[in-house]
Amino acid sequence: MSMSEALTKALPLLAALESRGFEAVFVGGCVRDTLLGRPLKDVDIATSASPEDVIAAFPHTIPTGLQHGTVTVVHDGDTYEITTFRTESAYEGFRRPSEVRFVTELKEDLLRRDFTINAMAMRSDGTMVDPFGGRRDLGRGILRCVGDADARLQEDALRIVRAVRFAAAYDLRIAPGTWRAIRRHRALLAHIAMERIGLEFDKMIGGRHPERAGALLASSGLLAHTKELLPEAISSAAAAYAALNAGRSSEAGEPLARGIRGLAGLADAEDRWAALCALLGLGADEAAKLFGTLRYATARGERLSVVLGVHGAMAEQAGRDLTALADQPVAAENAALAARLREDTRRSWILAALRHGQTAALAWAGIVGRVPDLIAADIHAAERQHAVLGPYLQALEAAVRGMPAGAVRDLAVKGKELLALADRPSGPWLGRLLHSLLEAAALGAVPNEKAALLAEAAARLAQEDRPHETRGDHS
């Protein structure tokens, strides 16, 4: 097997251990990805040397996980994990054991690994060590547990989710015995920390085939067995999706399936999550809660909420607009019509951008461009909707980019100046006034110029001072 640059660069590490009389091989993901010609994420090494011997063999090491036999070696600006051959026994609570036993045989080390495609090693001369037929499985597109699937998934229930993740990322079919074991032992997922589940989901959504991950998660029934409950919308979507995949027609499943197929068209994983949550019908709060359950960073949940906030504000209106546009008889005119936003659409759009932020608004428009099923109201008009979708979204984007003011700080008038104008003590009224001026400026109702804004402010203050009069639209 020929070696990629990344493996070649790591060869001196194998040589250093071999020259001291130890066995040392590339192992796991880097071997699998080399066989597939995919770029390597990291290069892991397994060796018969003890962690102490590894530390002695290299000038720059970090004792990352000594109790598990792992030493990190820094070599030529890159880090490598070198792990002593080991077996795992005495699994407790359906999780990987905290104690391991070091062994001298490579094959014993490969035996502890989860799937045949992950249980291959490569020697420094390029020869493969593949006792479980990983290469054959990879060639045939099959994901299979090493040895007895029931035993392997019961030892460590995380492997149940890893199976789905690898099957999705590498577009593999799951071997029948492994699939049966996944379904049989899925309730063991309740023993796995949500953080681990969250990491796996993230890799599935961000990976090559999120649609395949979705299909497998739905048909395996895994989603109902996590330690902490996922939102109800997820289980009902999974049921609809599974029905569809099983060949039954499902009204709810079809747009969902089309939408999920569209996810891969989004480059950014955060955008994929936003699209997925919108497809599942999760509101901003529910989605943020889901992110909390999956232990994602707060900032990610916040970003998700604002994009879903824009979706909540705009999806129906955009669906109506596009359906109406697609119904126009002359296709050539549709694009021109689409580019001219309705006044009420423009207003809701600008207000949504003020409320949730221009970045979130632009992100939403970008997502909808890739996953039109997020808003498409009328399936039969889908093709014609597509012809108008581009110009419509461009018009929305232009409207947001062209907003004269996006935040109070962009206003040509400052709070201090309004205080002087009003000649009254500061209070909540000031923030309200600034915000209403911001809306007026953003909508283009008042130019974002000091004199115009001060005049508008004076008019509004005067109106407030006459409480017996009915208030105008602006208050």
Q: Binding residues for ligand ATP, per CB under 6 A? A: 28-29, 41, 44, 96, 113-114, 118-119, 156, 158-159, 162
- In terms of Cα–Cα distance, which of 319, 400, 406 is closest to 363? 400
Asked whether position 231 contacts Mg ion by CB under 5 A, the answer is no
CB-CB contact of 310 with 282 (8 Å): no
Q: How far is the CB of 13 from ligand ATP (least distance, A)?
A: 17
Nearest residue (CB) to Mg ion, 204 versus 230: 204
Nearest residue (CB) to Mg ion, 40 versus 189: 40
Return the one option of Mg ion, ligand ATP, none that residue 226 interacts with (CB less than 5 to 8 A, by type): none
Q: How far is the CB of 207 from Mg ion (least distance, A)?
A: 13
Q: How far is the CB of 90 from Mg ion (least distance, A)?
A: 25
Nearest residue (CB) to Mg ion, 29 versus 69: 29
Q: How far is the CB of 402 from ligand ATP (least distance, A)?
A: 43
Q: How far is the CB of 268 from ligand ATP (least distance, A)?
A: 19
Asked whether position 207 contacts Mg ion by CB under 5 A, the answer is no
The interface region with Mg ion, picked from 27-35, 305-313, 352-360, 442-450 by CB under 5 A, is 27-35
Nearest residue (CB) to Mg ion, 29 versus 198: 29
Give the burial string for 446-464 (b: 16+ CB within 10 Å, else e).
Answer: bebeeebbbebbeebbeee
The two tokens of residue 83 are 């792990």
Q: How far is the CB of 156 from ligand ATP (least distance, A)?
A: 5
Cα gap 366→347, rounded to integer Å = 19
Nearest residue (CB) to ligand ATP, 10 versus 234: 10
Return the one option of Mg ion, ligand ATP, none that residue 159 interacts with (CB less than 5 to 8 A, by type): ligand ATP
The two tokens of residue 141 are 């597109």
Cα gap 217→93, rounded to integer Å = 23
Nearest residue (CB) to Mg ion, 26 versus 364: 26
Burial class for 309, CB neighbours closer than 10 Å (0-12, 13-18, 19+): buried
Nearest residue (CB) to ligand ATP, 26 versus 364: 26
The interface region with Mg ion, picked from 26-34, 345-353, 379-387, 428-436 by CB under 5 A, is 26-34
Return the one option of Mg ion, ligand ATP, none that residue 211 interacts with (CB less than 5 to 8 A, by type): none
Angstrom distances, CA of residue 453 to CA of 435, 438, 459? 12, 9, 10
Return the one option of ligand ATP, Mg ion, none that residue 158 interacts with (CB less than 5 to 8 A, by type): ligand ATP
The two tokens of residue 413 are 């008038």
The two tokens of residue 157 are 């229930």
CA 220, chain centre distance (Å): 21
Helices (H), 80-169: 106-111, 134-140, 149-155, 158-169
Cα gap 297→305, rounded to integer Å = 13
Q: Which residue is nearest to ligand ATP (CB)?
A: 29
Amino acid at 27: V
Nearest residue (CB) to ligand ATP, 110 versus 274: 110
Asked whether position 198 contacts Mg ion by CB under 5 A, the answer is no
Query: Total binding residues for Mg ion by CB under 5 A?
Result: 1
Nearest residue (CB) to ligand ATP, 36 versus 74: 36
Q: How far is the CB of 200 from Mg ion (least distance, A)?
A: 13
- In terms of Cα–Cα distance, which of 129, 124, 90, 93 is closest to 109? 129
CB-CB contact of 400 with 364 (8 Å): no
Nearest residue (CB) to ligand ATP, 181 versus 318: 181
Asked whether position 29 contacts Mg ion by CB under 5 A, the answer is yes
Asked whether position 134 contacts Mg ion by CB under 5 A, the answer is no
Q: How far is the CB of 31 from ligand ATP (least distance, A)?
A: 8
Within 126-251, strands assigned E span 128-129, 142-143, 173-174
What is the gyration radius of the CA atoms in the chain, in angstroms?
A: 29
Q: Which residue is nearest to Mg ion (CB)?
A: 29
Q: How far is the CB of 266 from ligand ATP (least distance, A)?
A: 20
Cα gap 203→218, rounded to integer Å = 17
Nearest residue (CB) to ligand ATP, 9 versus 96: 96
Cα gap 162→67, rounded to integer Å = 24
Residues 155-184: x/- map of binding to Mg ion (CB under 5 A)?
Answer: ------------------------------
Q: How far is the CB of 357 from Mg ion (least distance, A)?
A: 36
Return the one option of Mg ion, ligand ATP, none that residue 156 interacts with (CB less than 5 to 8 A, by type): ligand ATP
For the chain, the residue count is 475
CA 335, chain centre distance (Å): 32
Asked whether position 206 contacts Mg ion by CB under 5 A, the answer is no
- In terms of Cα–Cα distance, which of 211, 191, 171, 206 is closest to 36? 171
Q: How far is the CB of 320 from ligand ATP (least distance, A)?
A: 44
**Residues 6 or more apart whose Cβ sits within 8 Å of residue 113:** 28, 119, 146
Cα gap 16→58, rounded to integer Å = 8
Interaction site with Mg ion (CB under 5 A): 29
